[in-house]
């Protein structure tokens, strides 16, 4: 055992500069390989254990400078606490990003990719790196917020703005509990941070995340738009949906359909969507059909069509709407919850097919 410790300790000292960022990325990659459904009991337990271990590790790490662990069995292992913190910080941060990068509406998750990158850069370049206590507790609030924002809706089998706010308050309370316990237990922590400043910082981060949510920069967790297609026809046969659409060019890898719709008088245009929802969750969603008005240079709502989704299906709850009285121009269909939280947007351009060109369509079953 001692030989293994000596080898590990020698390696750590040699690569100390690069280990924190390596463990952060390691946490991200581990989640990418292991995480499944957002409502999976195993995944929930796993992520909850991440949060517990992260909390304990931050507390233990901040007491190292006080000599709290001298003479104990864990003393020689305390040098690895920064790496442990980095691993579970990376794992929890990436979990939210991984779940919602699966949505077809990447623009709805890009804000959290930016935050993830910021945390990576901050950990690498800020003075003190993970030893910076302001950074520690700020990152802790962020990852706990992301965890509770999908954990609470899964437990309650519901999602709305009130539940999101409650999730944020729970994460804020957890963060304050960790801060105050550490602050009043560790003399070295009291020298390094001002309790008023760290409290203000946590509140500001909490408010910032709520601002992101208000402006639909965060998906309405735990719902996710897995597929959105503008189609020429949708037909339901037993438990299958046959979707007839024109596929996009090969180099347009981020979109499955051609966003230019060749329309003939009398034709209808269909919007097919597949929305993932946790088991037992039933929720009304809406397809908002909007046309871009050239005079006002704004989007005008032309129709709002509701349907109820039911969670539990791995590939999402399928549904479609269609519109017949269509005209040329730019269109988009926003997929919204009843609280008008945005799941995604399906954009397309309607062009009258004057030459009766044959459109090369394909039919796919969902």
**pLDDT, tens digit (0-9, with 9 covering 90-100), for 80-113:** 888 788 778 877 877 776 766 655 555 555 665 6
Are 73 and 184 part of one and the same domain? yes
CA proximity to 207, closest of 117, 142, 115, 116: 142
| Farthest CA pair distance, the chain | 86
Q: Is a pLDDT exceeding 90 seen at residue 172? A: yes
CATH classification of the domain holding 355: 2.60.40.1930
Are 184 and 263 part of one and the same domain? no
Tokens read off for 14: 């040699």
* Residue that is written with structure tokens 């969670």 in the block: 311
* Domain containing residue 130: 2-214
CA distance 66 to 190: 11
Domain boundary among 214, 246, 270: 214
Residue 144 lies in a domain: yes
* Residue 269 CA neighbour count, 13 Å, CB half: 26
Domain boundary among 165, 182, 214: 214
Are 238 and 182 part of one and the same domain? no
Residue 193 lies in a domain: yes
Are 8 and 152 part of one and the same domain? yes
Q: Is a pLDDT exceeding 50 seen at residue 244? A: yes
pLDDT score of 127: 40
Q: Is a pLDDT exceeding 50 seen at residue 23? A: yes
Cα 278 to Cα 59, 95, 156, 343, distances in angstroms: 34, 16, 10, 15
Tokens read off for 333: 């269909």
Cα 6 to Cα 12, 22, 79, 84, 90, distances in angstroms: 10, 21, 13, 18, 27
Q: Is a pLDDT exceeding 80 seen at residue 121? A: no
Are 107 and 175 part of one and the same domain? yes
DSSP 241-305: EEEEEPBPPTT-TT-SB-SEEEE-TT--EEEEEEEE--TT-EEEEEEEEEEEETTTTEEEEEEEE
Chain center to CA of 177: 25
**pLDDT, tens digit (0-9, with 9 covering 90-100), for 127-138:** 445 668 888 899
Q: Specify the number of domains making up the chain.
A: 2
Q: Is a pLDDT exceeding 90 seen at residue 35? A: no
- Identify any residues that bridge with 245 across adjacent strands, giving them in sequence order: 362
Residue 278 lies in a domain: yes
Are 102 and 75 part of one and the same domain? yes
Residue 219 lies in a domain: no
pLDDT score of 44: 85
Are 202 and 286 part of one and the same domain? no
CA distance 309 to 315: 13
Are 41 and 151 part of one and the same domain? yes
Are 181 and 237 part of one and the same domain? no
Residue 124 lies in a domain: yes
Are 19 and 152 part of one and the same domain? yes
Are 187 and 317 part of one and the same domain? no
Residue 127 lies in a domain: yes
Residue 107 lies in a domain: yes
Are 202 and 228 part of one and the same domain? no
Is there a contact between 337 and 282 (Cβ–Cβ < 8 Å)? no
pLDDT average, residue stretch 7-13 = 58
pLDDT average, residue stretch 338-349 = 88
**pLDDT, tens digit (0-9, with 9 covering 90-100), for 294-303:** 999 999 999 9
Domain boundary among 181, 214, 247: 214
Reported pTM: 0.77
- Which pLDDT band holds residue 32 (cuts at 50, 70, 90)? low
């Amino acid at each position: 055992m001692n030989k293994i410790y000596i080898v590990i300790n020698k390696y750590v000292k040699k690569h100390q500069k690069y280990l924190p960022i390596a463990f952060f990325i390691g946490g991200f990659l581990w989640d990418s390989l292991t995480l499944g459904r957002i409502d999976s009991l195993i995944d929930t337990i796993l992520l909850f254990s991440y949060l517990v271990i992260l909390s304990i590790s931050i507390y233990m790490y901040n007491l190292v400078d006080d000599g709290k662990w001298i003479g104990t069995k864990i003393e020689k292992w305390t040098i690895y606490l920064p790496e442990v913190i980095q691993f579970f910080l990376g794992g929890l941060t990436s979990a939210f990003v991984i779940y919602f990068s699966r949505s077809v509406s990447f623009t709805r998750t890009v804000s959290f990719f930016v935050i993830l990158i910021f945390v990576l850069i901050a950990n690498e370049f800020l003075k003190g790196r993970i030893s910076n206590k302001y950074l520690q507790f700020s990152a802790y609030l962020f990852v706990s917020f992301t965890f509770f924002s999908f954990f609470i809706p899964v437990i309650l089998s519901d999602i709305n703005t009130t539940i999101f706010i409650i999730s944020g308050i729970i994460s804020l309370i957890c963060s304050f509990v960790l801060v105050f316990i550490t602050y009043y237990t560790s003399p070295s922590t009291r020298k390094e941070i001002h309790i008023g400043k760290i409290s203000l910082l946590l509140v500001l981060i909490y408010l910032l995340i709520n601002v992101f949510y208000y402006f639909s920069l965060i998906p309405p967790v735990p719902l996710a738009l897995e597929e959105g297609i503008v189609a020429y026809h949708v037909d339901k046969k037993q438990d299958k949906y046959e979707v007839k659409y024109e596929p996009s060019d090969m180099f347009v890898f981020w979109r499955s359909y051609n966003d230019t719709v060749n329309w003939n008088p009398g034709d209808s245009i269909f919007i097919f969507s597949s929305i993932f929802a946790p088991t037992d969750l039933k929720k009304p969603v809406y397809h908002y059909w909007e046309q871009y008005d050239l005079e006002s240079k704004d989007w005008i709502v032309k129709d709002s069509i509701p349907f109820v989704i039911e969670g539990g299906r791995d590939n999402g709850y399928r549904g479609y709407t269609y519109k017949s009285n269509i005209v040329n121009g730019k269109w988009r269909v926003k997929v919204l919850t009843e609280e008008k939280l945005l799941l995604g947007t399906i954009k397309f351009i309607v062009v009258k097919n004057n030459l009766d060109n044959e459109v090369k369509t394909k039919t796919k079953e969902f």
